[in-house]
Structure 1
């Protein structure tokens, strides 16, 4: 046992882009380029709004890696992060008291963001292929949904990878009911062999979101939003031109644009993918033989089935006594959904591979002991 009294617990709660070789060097170069740019004062002292023409062109080139072709810059915004963007999307697509749909287990912030907009989140059933199209259709028949939020690629928290067939089925349902899709593709660029985004299947229905939090760095507070059309983007922006809370930070935009244009961003993503693969190999070594682990092998975490008689709360307490910090899975549940027999364990939060091995070893011991 790793006594919490003598050593700090190994954090296995949160996920972010892992630190990789040469990252510091690439960022230092981008900072130096920004410092030497003739528009430095403007970058720091004025709004960047939703990105300069250069920012948007770099973003379009970057996003083409997932979308298959560069999106039209007139449909693209550079924003101050996923959550800020979702607040705006929820408030503009859904009137107060309206309902949106989401996977019954979903990104932990969705319920909180919906609460800020005074809208309801209705749960859609999920299986090993992600959101179930028949469950979404049942909700569409029973409710006048304002939108559906979907995380199809490297689903958080279950790690499922939605097949192309399921994506096409969900699009058919959304099109039948004229239902806007909000697609969160945060893991798209770090996921190997991912099917095409919903936005490439139904661009006219989909609000596509790609944050740099997992593929570059969460501290940059930047995401890209692609609207279904020029008109829909204009409608979104028209009543809120002075709401700056979701504007992209100027320095972040300058850093990211330099990283993309120089090729450094692609190198960083490649190194991040290698580090994730190495940590996934460790997870397979430590937990794979137990038959309780779900992963798509590109995910920043694993999703663990707790064997009976374990449930979440006592398992988390026992893990803490053995030197490991975990989050309760209820944070991923939509209202009315109970989740007690699974745990998400971050593979990235532990600082070193040795820490990761120690943390997973402690969890494996508990899973085997079942007491």
Structure 2
């Protein structure tokens, strides 16, 4: 910097779908199509509830790209996003005072949602392959768990990609103890060559959740939920028919369905995957040689092992003084989990490749300084 110029801070906290060239054009086409639809007034002025039959069929067809075959649309809902859906699932599967299991490092909202429902979250040990089945079984033996929440594909925050063998082992434990699985597959459609989801291995046990936030856009505020059975879905919905907070926004549903039916959604996902890969290449170039970074080619972020004597708080403060903003890893920790030796850095939040390089350069310098 010179001549009194200042450079805006580089935010590396959040992960969402990266901007890609085709997005504006295809969304404009979908918006135009929806605006010209004969039922536009109903789309705006009426509840869409959990999607029209057309919405559900389009969603089932699209999710077949991940599941291997289209799920029965009678088991599928469109909802108002991941967090609203998790709140409903937690409240219906677990009574107040009950416990659910989750990876010891997990999606930052899990603890907050469980707290709202007065539900305990019990940590399951993880390794480089994700949730450990032996640790889950130990919890099942010691506690009457209501469900297990798991993010096996591009785990947030560690980026691990659970192997097929481990998925099968986790399913065996869940089946042994009749434990419902809540699978958050938010990265599933952007994860190249990922093993099949748990919902494909154990569809009768799994509540499968796929948000469009990472593969289309977080502003659409929409997720898909696939229930283990028609009866399970009916039981979920029966007591809460008028709770509209998790209904899908009508305009979002119409836009997403048009994107799917036109083929634009798959095109966007392909472009997003390419952009993520390009940013991963930059991360490998800037940090890979340090041997402190964990990631996978489809991940929106990297998970950094801090060298001694660094711990999270001093590292975050040092980065901030150099214009890089990071989140404290404690937001991902379940109760009793120490996570002071790691940092998650988003590769997507920086708006340009140049900003990403600048941010990663700051992190590399700090990691090498160790002071």
TM-score exceeds 0.5: yes
Query: Mapping of 1:14-25 within 5 angstroms?
Result: 14-25=14-25
Q: 1:272 is matched with which residue?
A: 272
Q: Which residue of 2 aligns with 1:131?
A: 131
Residues 1:7 and 2:40 are matched in the alignment: no
Report the CA distance between 1:9 and its aligned residue.
1.1
Q: What are the residue-to-residue correspondences of 1:300-319 with 2, within 5 Å? A: 300-319=300-319
Q: What is aligned with 2:116? A: 116
> Counterpart of 1:207?
207
CA apart distance, 1:245: 0.3
Structure 2, unaligned stretches of length 5 or more? Answer: none
Mapping 1:25-40, distance limit 5 Å: 25-40=25-40
Partner of 2:174: 174
Q: Name the residue aligned to 2:83.
A: 83
- Which residue matches 1:72? 72
Q: Offset at 1:276?
A: 0.2
CA distance in 2, matches of 1:22, 1:275: 12
Question: 2 CA distance for matches of 1:367 and 1:89?
Answer: 41
Q: Distance in 1 between matches of 2:8 and 2:358?
A: 12
Please, what TM-score do these two structures have when normalized by structure 2? 0.99
Deviations 1:13-62 (A, max 9, x none): 00000000120010001101110000000000000000000000000000
* Residue of structure 1 equivalent to 2:224: 224
TM-score with structure 1 setting the length: 0.99
Shift of 1:125: 0.2
In the alignment, structure 1 residue 187 sits paired with structure 2 residue 187: yes
Are 1:337 and 2:337 an aligned pair?
yes
1:262 — aligned with what?
262
Residue in 2 that maps onto 1:142: 142
Q: CA deviation at 1:5?
A: 9.4
Q: Deviations over 1:181-221 (max 9, x none)?
A: 00000000001110000000000000000000000000000
List, as ranges, runs of 4+ consecutive aligned residues in structure 1 with deviation greater than 4 Å.
none
State the alpha-carbon separation in 2 of the partners of residues 36 and 265 from structure 1: 20
The aligned length equals: 370
Q: Where does the alignment leave 5 or more consecutive residues of structure 1 unmatched?
A: none
Partner of 1:240: 240
Confirm whether residue 61 of structure 1 aligns to residue 86 of structure 2: no
